[in-house]
């Protein structure tokens, strides 16, 4: 009969040792400054994705817009994890100009989506009206099929 022995799992939670972030035994050691640099890169990537979203909205490329939004969702998760790893240190003061740019891009994105949504709603309304008009014309010019069939019987 075999007996199972449990192996102890190594902790994967990050810890700080003398101002250095140690993520796990297999990861590299990172300083707090490195965390800020990584955050800056992630926020810059966010900005690129926001710009790509605006282009997708302008060109009505909804599939590309969905891809950008999914990437931003994953990026938001990664940014959240990095903030946790940084021990809750507030990087907003050093990243303020970049964050203000991102907020402006997001605001433009919201305005552009609202404009496109309104335009598409108007377009849909016009198409619905055209469909109703076409049905009225069809009813006016097409005789009742049952009457035609009955006339030959």
User: How many angstroms separate the Cα of 97 from the Cα of each of 31, 46, 59, 74, 103?
Assistant: 22, 14, 29, 23, 10
pLDDT in the model for residue 53: 93
Alpha carbons 76 and 57: distance in angstroms, whole number: 21
The first and second tokens of residue 99, run together, are 């964050």
pLDDT in tens, 105-137: 999 999 999 999 999 999 999 999 999 999 888
Percent pLDDT > 90 in the chain is 44
**pLDDT confidence bin for 88, thresholds 50/70/90:** low
CA 104 to chain centre: 16
Closest C-alpha among 67, 50, 71 to residue 113: 50
Q: Are the C-beta atoms of 105 and 54 separated by less than 8 Å?
A: yes
- Report helix, strand or coil for 2: coil
The first and second tokens of residue 60, run together, are 């009505």
The pTM (predicted TM-score) of the whole model is 0.60
């Amino acid at each position: 009969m075999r007996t199972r022995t449990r192996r102890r799992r190594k902790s994967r939670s990050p810890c700080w040792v003398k101002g250095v972030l140690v993520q796990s035994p297999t990861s590299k050691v990172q300083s707090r400054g490195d965390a800020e640099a990584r955050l800056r890169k992630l926020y810059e990537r966010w900005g690129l994705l926001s710009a790509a979203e605006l282009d997708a909205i302008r060109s009505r490329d909804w599939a590309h817009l969905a891809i950008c939004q999914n990437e931003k969702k994953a990026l938001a998760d990664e940014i959240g994890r990095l903030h946790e790893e940084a021990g809750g240190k507030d990087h907003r003061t050093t990243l303020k100009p970049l964050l203000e740019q991102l907020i402006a891009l997001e605001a433009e994105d919201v305005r552009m989506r609202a404009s496109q949504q309104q335009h598409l709603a108007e377009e849909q309304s016009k198409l619905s009206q055209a469909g109703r008009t076409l049905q009225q014309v069809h009813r006016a010019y097409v005789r009742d099929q049952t009457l035609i069939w009955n006339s030959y019987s």
